[in-house]
A and B are shown apart, each in its own frame.
Chain A
Amino acid sequence: MNPFAAWHPAVAFAFFAGVIALSMAAMHPVYVALSCAGALGCLAAVRGGRAALRALAWAVPLVAVVAAANCLFVASGSTEIVRVGTRAVYVEALAYGLVAGGMLASVLLWFSSYAVCMGSEDTLALFGRALPTTTLMVSQVMRLVPQFVRRGRIVAAVQDAASAAAPATARERARGRLRVTSVLMGWGMEDGLIRSDAMRARGYDCGVRRTTYRRYRFGAVDAALAGTVVALVVANAALAFVACGQFRFYPALSALVPWWGYGAYALLLAVPIMLRAREWWLWRK
């Protein structure tokens, strides 16, 4: 369920663009930890708790692999944990790997929420005015991809079912599978001719500047929420700049102390969760 559904897509876009940019930029243990927690919370709010748990199944190994790779290949730091052969493994390198892996995982998690909250329609609504041709192309591609997949299955099934002309060798079989692509291309191009006729029949490229049908209106409430989100993003960018400037992984980890700036970041990340909570509150009976 999309917590931004009742709002103009600009709100969701501002939120995700800001949060993903901050998550990618802030190489800081607390920021990354908050971002991971926020991304999981957002995923739970958008696709349900079970989906969030399932995401952990790939996110945790991802973090582990990056952390392991970093401390095996980077021999920097001052606190040695173990020694593998001639190579030392340092706490600092491990910490750096964990933070980098966490950053990667959090960004991927944010994107999986983004995909649900910003459908093609929302993207078009945002950029349709500036890029009418591009948005039309996006709309067409969104339609053609599932069509290609479905047709590919049909073509493969027809080939498999024609046992009277079954391929005798593995090589022929492989060639047959390659043929599927060429069939799809030919079929798609043939459709393209019909589609371009259908487009011209409805006045496409008739020399008039296209307008776009917009489903959304950008009202005062949308402006207020979008403004809040943008303000939080800007403030947090400044705070994150300060925080990251004061933190060092190498040669020794800087000490972490409680700071109100982290609270501001948590507030930003909690926006989708709060919107979801509001929804829950409205329908609690």
Chain B
Amino acid sequence: MAEVTARRGAGAHAVAGAAALAAGAKLPAAEAAGVEFEASFAGETASVEETASAPEAPLVRVAGFSFSYEEPDGSLRPVLRDVSFAVKEGAFCVVTGPTGCGKTTLLRSLKPELAPVGVRAGRIEACGQVLLDAPSAEECPYAAADRAKAPSAASAPAFDPRACGHVSAAQAAPLPKAASAASAPDPRIRAAQIGFVMQDPDAQLVCDTVLHELAFGLENLGTPQDEMRRRVAEAAHFFGIEPWLHAACETLSGGQKQIVNLAAALALRPRLLLLDEPTAQLDPNAQSQFIALLARVNRDLGVTVVMSTHAPEDVAGCATCRLELGAPLAPAPCAVACERLRPRWRARAEALAASEPCLVVRGAHFRYGRGEPWVLRGLDLAVRRGSVHAVVGGNGCGKSTLLKLMAGVEKPQRGRVGNALARSQALLPQDPKALLVCDSVAEELAEWRARCGWAPHDERAMLSRFGLDGCETLHPYDLSGGQQQMLALAKLLLTGARLLLLDEPTKGLDPQACADMARTLRALADEGRTAVLVTHDLDFAYVAADEVTMLFDGEAACTEPAEAFFANNLVYRPSAASRLFALID
């Protein structure tokens, strides 16, 4: 993971109208984005003072916050250094930055129950509570509680004279009585005032039905029944989830699950809502729906929102301030990418003109059960050997089903699938965890060595190619989502498969990782291997694909070279500007 960085100057920008705004009254986004100031750092408190001198104190105030993780060998891995910012009550703050820059660490540090384990320094206040005041350890409730529990913690080596807040997992438990009553408010208030929504829609759900899920937090806080009914009713009504209130969580779509998670957090009536890349796992429709609901929560209910994301463009309309961790990356307009891509498109078109189709689907009809509706009805598709073929389309149009048919996992009830490379194929699932079976990255890459006959140095080459150097001993689950995706892809590439089938390969990836993925796929095609990917990410299809098929109503509506496909579309177009385009060559 990249060492990080909110460094002075190049570091934390708080692009913010929020500081000067009263809660509720918002500037239009364009105007808000115009007001830009550098966040203050520890030692230069001028700008913090400035915010504090506003009529209302900010809801969240972070000053000189640094955080380091402790490695198993005792060394410290700094993740955040001297981060300072303030968020006004009623603001919508977006936190951006590349993978591994500490977005999650920062957000979790704002939620006492989830504060990560490591060495920290600085001061954090949220909702009128001091969550961290590390320069004087005795005042820090967590450090004090921790000392009371584990005396050895106090003697642990500190990497910085100021870094004295040594936090352990024990702090998540209710504070012992030793901590002073003033610094340890009612746990009920603390849990309720700050809501937290994480990335994975599925794993966050605790109960079996939506109704249970909404009531879960209220039950934990010992809310009386009548009050609970009212809160659940209000949350369900606000988010419009009455129709599936009794549905089993397992039957919901990813977008619905994430809305339930949001509603469950909101049933506790928080003042501050923290969201850690909440839309990363969702498809574009679900993303915009989620963002719209979140904006309503912020605007209508006056809940302060701090949200991290890889796609700040999506929330540009409702965000009032922005915190950039790490080096900011400016988006490039689509026209620039188009100019850069044109020579490649031309060259690829010539190269593929003579190429035979290696994967042909003819008149495929498919449905999952006798009484079920048809997912595919008479689909025709031909994939040329040595091409990167993207399949795009709306939700539930049968993209993933088509991929299963191509992979031979499912058989069409009518029609046929001819795959010349059926003996040398590999499938990258939507969730790379389905492919990761070993206890370390190195073992993972070595799993099929004997079967396929590659050499250990191939594995090392793969590791450096995908930027996984130094991760050999880590458990695959300790990698970030993007790194897991890269590891899964590396494992499949090692097999030397001539045909790669990829299901949503860019889900949850940041622009840098997307660009890497695009480069990898192009290099494969140049080697003469074939890749079929189904994706919602049109920007990615634009930069990576040679040919694109639009799926609609169980049929292939059209198949064209990428250039022609996007030129002729009105709706299915890449974004006007994207940070991915800035990284593509």
The reply to whether B191 and A202 form a contact with Cβ atoms under 8 Å apart is yes
Question: Which residue of the partner chain, among A151, A165, A199, contacts B426 with CB atoms under 8 Å?
Answer: A165
CB distance from B278 to the nearest CB of A (A): 12
Q: What sequence of 0s and 1s flags, for each residue 136-166 of chain A, a beta carbon within 8 Å of any chain B beta carbon? A: 1001101100110011001101101111111
- For the complex, what is the distance from the CA of A187 to the CA of B437, rounded to whole Å? 9
The reply to whether A213 and B429 form a contact with Cβ atoms under 8 Å apart is no
Residues of B within 8 A of A143 (CB): 205, 207-208, 248-250
Residues of B within 8 A of A139 (CB): 206-209, 212
Question: Which residue of the partner chain, among B195, B208, B229, B501, contacts A161 with CB atoms under 8 Å?
Answer: B501
Assess whether A120 is interfacial by the CB under 8 Å rule: yes
In the assembled complex, 5 residue pairs joining A and B whose CB atoms fall closer than 8 Å, in A order, are: A146-B250, A163-B422, A194-B203, A201-B111, A213-B218
What residues of chain B have their CB less than 8 Å away from a CB belonging to chain A?
Answer: 111, 113-114, 172-174, 187-188, 190-192, 195-196, 198, 200, 202-209, 211-212, 215-225, 228-229, 232, 248-250, 261, 264-265, 268, 404, 407-409, 422-427, 429, 431, 433-437, 448, 451-452, 477, 492, 495-498, 501
Stretch with Cβ within 8 A of B (4 or more), from A36-44, A94-102, A203-211: A203-211
CB distance from B46 to the nearest CB of A (A): 34
CB distance from A158 to the nearest CB of B (A): 5
Considering the complex, give the chain B residue whose CB is closest to the CB of A187: B433
The reply to whether B426 and A140 form a contact with Cβ atoms under 8 Å apart is no
The reply to whether A179 and B437 form a contact with Cβ atoms under 8 Å apart is yes
CB distance from A134 to the nearest CB of B (A): 14
- For the complex, what is the distance from the CA of A214 to the CA of B452, rounded to whole Å? 57
Assess whether A54 is interfacial by the CB under 8 Å rule: no
The reply to whether B451 and A198 form a contact with Cβ atoms under 8 Å apart is no
Assess whether A197 is interfacial by the CB under 8 Å rule: yes
Assess whether A200 is interfacial by the CB under 8 Å rule: yes
The reply to whether A199 and B477 form a contact with Cβ atoms under 8 Å apart is no
Known: A161-B408, A183-B436. A201 touches B114 (CB 8 A): yes
The reply to whether B202 and A161 form a contact with Cβ atoms under 8 Å apart is no
Residues of B within 8 A of A204 (CB): 216, 220
The reply to whether A206 and B501 form a contact with Cβ atoms under 8 Å apart is no
Query: Which of B192, B434, B498 has most chain A Cβ within 10 Å?
Result: B434
Known: A183-B434, A190-B433, A213-B212. A207 touches B200 (CB 8 A): no
CB distance from A76 to the nearest CB of B (A): 50
Question: Which residue of the partner chain, among B196, B232, B407, contacts A201 with CB atoms under 8 Å?
Answer: B196
CB distance from A51 to the nearest CB of B (A): 16
- For the complex, what is the distance from the CA of A144 to the CA of B223, rounded to whole Å? 27
Assess whether A77 is interfacial by the CB under 8 Å rule: no
Question: Which residue of the partner chain, among B187, B202, B496, contacts A208 with CB atoms under 8 Å?
Answer: B187
Inter-chain pairs besides A162-B492, A165-B426, A202-B216, 13 sampled, C-beta below 8 Å: A139-B212, A143-B249, A147-B250, A161-B409, A161-B426, A162-B427, A163-B408, A163-B424, A203-B187, A203-B268, A206-B174, A208-B221, A213-B229
Residues of A within 8 A of B190 (CB): 206
The reply to whether B222 and A209 form a contact with Cβ atoms under 8 Å apart is yes
Residues of A within 8 A of B497 (CB): 162-165
Assess whether A168 is interfacial by the CB under 8 Å rule: yes
Residues of A within 8 A of B195 (CB): 201
Question: Which residue of the partner chain, among B188, B209, B404, B424, contacts A164 with CB atoms under 8 Å?
Answer: B424
- 5 nearest interchain CB pairs? A203-B191, A202-B217, A164-B497, A213-B215, A161-B427
The reply to whether B452 and A164 form a contact with Cβ atoms under 8 Å apart is yes
Known: A142-B208, A165-B426, A207-B187. A198 touches B198 (CB 8 A): yes
CB distance from B409 to the nearest CB of A (A): 4
Known: A147-B250, A161-B501, A165-B451. A202 touches B426 (CB 8 A): no
Q: What sequence of 0s and 1s flags, for each residue 114-138 of chain A, a beta carbon within 8 Å of any chain B beta carbon? A: 0000001100100000001000100
Assess whether A172 is interfacial by the CB under 8 Å rule: yes
Question: Which residue of the partner chain, among B113, B203, B404, contacts A157 with CB atoms under 8 Å?
Answer: B404
Mostly helix, strand, loop or mixed at chain A's interface? helix
Question: Which residue of the partner chain, among B202, B212, B219, contacts A191 with CB atoms under 8 Å?
Answer: B202
Query: Which of B208, B215, B261 has most chain A Cβ within 10 Å?
Result: B208
Residues of A within 8 A of B407 (CB): 157, 160-161
The reply to whether B192 and A183 form a contact with Cβ atoms under 8 Å apart is no
Considering the complex, give the chain A residue whose CB is closest to the CB of B215: A213
Considering the complex, give the chain B residue whose CB is closest to the CB of A147: B250
- For the complex, what is the distance from the CA of A179 to the CA of B209, rounded to whole Å? 30
Known: A201-B111, A202-B265, A202-B268. A214 touches B200 (CB 8 A): no
Assess whether A261 is interfacial by the CB under 8 Å rule: no
Residues of A within 8 A of B248 (CB): 142-143, 146
The reply to whether A168 and B451 form a contact with Cβ atoms under 8 Å apart is yes
Residues of B within 8 A of A205 (CB): 173-174, 220
The reply to whether B451 and A167 form a contact with Cβ atoms under 8 Å apart is yes
Considering the complex, give the chain B residue whose CB is closest to the CB of A210: B219
The reply to whether B225 and A164 form a contact with Cβ atoms under 8 Å apart is no
- For the complex, what is the distance from the CA of A151 to the CA of B268, rounded to whole Å? 32
- For the complex, what is the distance from the CA of A140 to the CA of B451, rounded to whole Å? 39
The reply to whether B220 and A165 form a contact with Cβ atoms under 8 Å apart is no
Q: What sequence of 0s and 1s flags, for each residue 59-74 of chain A, a beta carbon within 8 Å of any chain B beta carbon? A: 0000000000000000
- For the complex, what is the distance from the CA of A132 to the CA of B222, rounded to whole Å? 12
The reply to whether B207 and A140 form a contact with Cβ atoms under 8 Å apart is yes
Question: Which residue of the partner chain, among A183, A202, A211, contacts B224 with CB atoms under 8 Å?
Answer: A211
Residues of B within 8 A of A160 (CB): 407-409
Considering the complex, give the chain B residue whose CB is closest to the CB of A204: B220
The reply to whether B192 and A203 form a contact with Cβ atoms under 8 Å apart is yes
The reply to whether A164 and B203 form a contact with Cβ atoms under 8 Å apart is no
CB distance from B580 to the nearest CB of A (A): 27
CB distance from B370 to the nearest CB of A (A): 15
Question: Which residue of the partner chain, among B113, B204, B437, B498, contacts A195 with CB atoms under 8 Å?
Answer: B204
The reply to whether B425 and A163 form a contact with Cβ atoms under 8 Å apart is yes
- For the complex, what is the distance from the CA of A162 to the CA of B424, rounded to whole Å? 8
Residues of B within 8 A of A120 (CB): 208
Residues of A within 8 A of B232 (CB): 213
- For the complex, what is the distance from the CA of A8 to the CA of B188, rounded to whole Å? 32
Residues of A within 8 A of B424 (CB): 163-164
Assess whether A48 is interfacial by the CB under 8 Å rule: no
The reply to whether A211 and B188 form a contact with Cβ atoms under 8 Å apart is no
- For the complex, what is the distance from the CA of A195 to the CA of B198, rounded to whole Å? 10
- For the complex, what is the distance from the CA of A186 to the CA of B221, rounded to whole Å? 31
- For the complex, what is the distance from the CA of A121 to the CA of B208, rounded to whole Å? 9
- For the complex, what is the distance from the CA of A154 to the CA of B434, rounded to whole Å? 7
The reply to whether A203 and B425 form a contact with Cβ atoms under 8 Å apart is no
Known: A121-B209, A164-B426. A198 touches B203 (CB 8 A): yes
The reply to whether B204 and A198 form a contact with Cβ atoms under 8 Å apart is yes
Considering the complex, give the chain B residue whose CB is closest to the CB of A169: B451
CB distance from A39 to the nearest CB of B (A): 27
Residues of B within 8 A of A154 (CB): 429, 431, 434
Residues of A within 8 A of B423 (CB): 163-164, 166
Question: Which residue of the partner chain, among B211, B264, B427, B501, contacts A202 with CB atoms under 8 Å?
Answer: B264
- For the complex, what is the distance from the CA of A36 to the CA of B571, rounded to whole Å? 63
Residues of B within 8 A of A157 (CB): 404, 407, 409, 427, 429
Residues of A within 8 A of B433 (CB): 183, 186-187, 190
Known: A162-B426, A187-B433, A201-B113. A208 touches B209 (CB 8 A): no
Known: A206-B191, A208-B220. A158 touches B434 (CB 8 A): yes
The reply to whether B174 and A207 form a contact with Cβ atoms under 8 Å apart is yes
